[in-house]
Structure 1
């Protein structure tokens, strides 16, 4: 922890004590917080933004991840009240989840676990398509994967992000100079022969059960039914 982080941590502790029901304790803590902020040139916004956390996950080598990957990221973001940012790298694309407390870390972990299973299930389904041409295999496998994600999405509960939290995250991202870029990925036009891909994707997705982690369990839980 850097010196600046230690000072911010001390200020936040004082701010927390400033909400004490003991008037004298609250007043003393508030004065101490204000004195520290003035001494070290730390603004109220800096203190607020220091509560924003982030965690990253590997999204694969593609600079333009497929649509089902984007759908999975949206699912995770909704489940854990975080905001995602894609970062293109030389070797692979990273997804950064931004939010509060342990939620970004949990989101990152759950994304990686679900993405591994989705990739495995999609590959297994694609192996059953030996009689199809390559382009048709990819289309059907992608539609399978999209249905898989939709199946999981229908089962999760979502954590709502407050307006204040959304504003703080926007400010955090803006301060860093990052751009929020929506990556949609390729979208296939479904054909009559693709119904089986959708049905099988829905069935496979039902085998994953995602539920929220807690403060005590910083790793989210993912179990197979």
Structure 2
């Protein structure tokens, strides 16, 4: 089973566990989701973070000639908190 397939199955089971009105059905769905997570070595946060994809910004919201210090700090904070990489590139605008 591919990564996408088992992640989709785990997500579906977790949604069912949180959204059903039957306690027995919720318990069974959560148990199955946890069994899949153990089997494939993923955590609940891995499942939640699998929704995140790469994103790009078209530019800073100002006419600054360089990236503001706060933006560098924010990028550093996000990278450390989420274990991602950030690339800041620029070009001159006239």
Q: Tell me which interval the TM-score lies in, with the shorter structure as reference length.
A: 0.5 to 0.7
Quote the RMSD (CA, aligned, Å).
3.2
Stretches of 4+ aligned residues off by more than 6 angstroms: none
Partner of 2:25: 25
Partner of 2:3: 4
> For this pair of structures, how many residues does the alignment match?
77
Instruction: Report the secondary structure of 2:53's partner residue.
Output: strand
CA distance in 1, matches of 2:21, 2:12: 15
Instruction: State the TM-score, normalized to the length of structure 2.
Output: 0.62
Partner of 2:92: 186
Instruction: State the TM-score, normalized to the length of structure 1.
Output: 0.29
CA distance in 2, matches of 1:7, 1:16: 14
CA distance in 2, matches of 1:52, 1:70: 21
Partner of 1:38: 38
Q: Please tell me whether Structure 1 or Structure 2 has the larger radius of gyration of its CA atoms.
A: 1
CA distance in 2, matches of 1:182, 1:55: 14
The runs of 5 or more residues in structure 2 that have no matched partner are 64-77
Matches within 5 A, 1:175-214: 178-181=85-88, 183=90, 185-186=91-92
The runs of 5 or more residues in structure 1 that have no matched partner are 57-68, 75-145, 147-166, 189-225
Q: Which has the higher contact order (CA 8 A, sep 6+)?
A: 1
Deviation at 1:45, TM superposition (A): 2.3
